[in-house]
């Protein structure tokens, strides 16, 4: 155990976050996402929901301030009536941790899968909400 690091951040996830550089992306994937077939680096976080992981990750990792939208959501498929209340929860967390009022872009499902394949890592979670997948782009930490 370390002080100041949430218990939902596993040693493997901490290592991945440390390895990532500016502009690298990490996917927080819901339980339905095809993580094993899409991941360059796969981190298991089964049993954890994405909001708790997002909160913990954003305590350690800045979002990229040099892009318009440093976070991406998987767009609901046309004709699908699924509601996405979890997105509001993500927005609240990002606003609280990163002071970004509108950080999200919506990415079409298959384009999201392709982007996920290029991500530095995918975190497989136990999140049961539909369309709960989230991509975060790592920012920089200034020494000033």
Instruction: Enumerate the active-site residues.
Output: 22, 64, 113
Spatial CA neighbour of 125 closest among 40, 5, 27:
27
Residues 6 or more apart whose CB falls under 8 angstroms from that of 108 comprise: 75
Within 11-133, strands assigned E span 25-29, 42-45, 71-74, 104-107, 121-125
Instruction: Measure CA of the first residue to CA of the last residue in the chain; give whole Å.
Output: 29
Distance CA 115, CA 144 (A): 33
Neighbours of 83 (CB within 10 A): 11
């Amino acid at each position: 155990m370390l002080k100041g690091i949430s218990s939902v951040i596993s040693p493997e996830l901490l290592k991945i976050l440390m390895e990532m550089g500016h502009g690298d992306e990490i996917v927080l994937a819901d339980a339905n996402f095809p993580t094993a077939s899409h991941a360059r680096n796969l981190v298991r976080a089964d049993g954890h929901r994405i909001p708790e992981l997002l909160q913990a990750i954003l305590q350690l990792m800045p979002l990229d301030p040099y892009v318009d939208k440093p976070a991406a959501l998987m767009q609901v498929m046309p004709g699908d009536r699924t509601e996405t209340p979890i997105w509001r929860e993500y927005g609240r967390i990002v606003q609280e941790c990163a002071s970004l009022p509108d950080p999200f872009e919506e990415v079409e499902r298959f384009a999201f899968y392709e982007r996920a394949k290029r991500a530095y890592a995918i975190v497989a979670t136990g999140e049961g909400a539909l369309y709960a997948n989230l991509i975060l782009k790592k920012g920089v930490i200034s020494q000033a």
